[in-house]
Structure 1
């Protein structure tokens, strides 16, 4: 309950998608994951909170806490 649904992107996924586009390589799963990160910045959803918590737990990514 204390975290928001905001999911930060570190730039790796963005870079991967940009390179995939530049080389005409389809990467729908990574692109979809990146777009979900962007979507999380619009609304505070339960799905965003779950994603933020999972990324924090398994990857050590920072989470935004409610003020």
Structure 2
């Protein structure tokens, strides 16, 4: 298992939507995409795309990690 370097993590979190997702998940725990869409006032495809990137970069754990 590889870990993100700080510069990699900062690049990922530089996007406002991805930062919002990470903050909400850290504060509220597991949320469905529809809850993230509502909280961030973003479309489902956009949130799903950002979640996929966060999982790919291992910034968050996805359902397949369980």
Larger Cα Rg: Structure 1 or Structure 2? 1
> TM-score category by the smaller chain?
0.3 to 0.5
Q: TM-score, normalised by structure 2?
A: 0.35
Judging by fraction of residues, say which structure has more helix.
Answer: 2
Q: TM-score, normalised by structure 1?
A: 0.35
Question: RCO (CA 8 Å, sep 6+): is it higher in 1 or 2?
Answer: 1
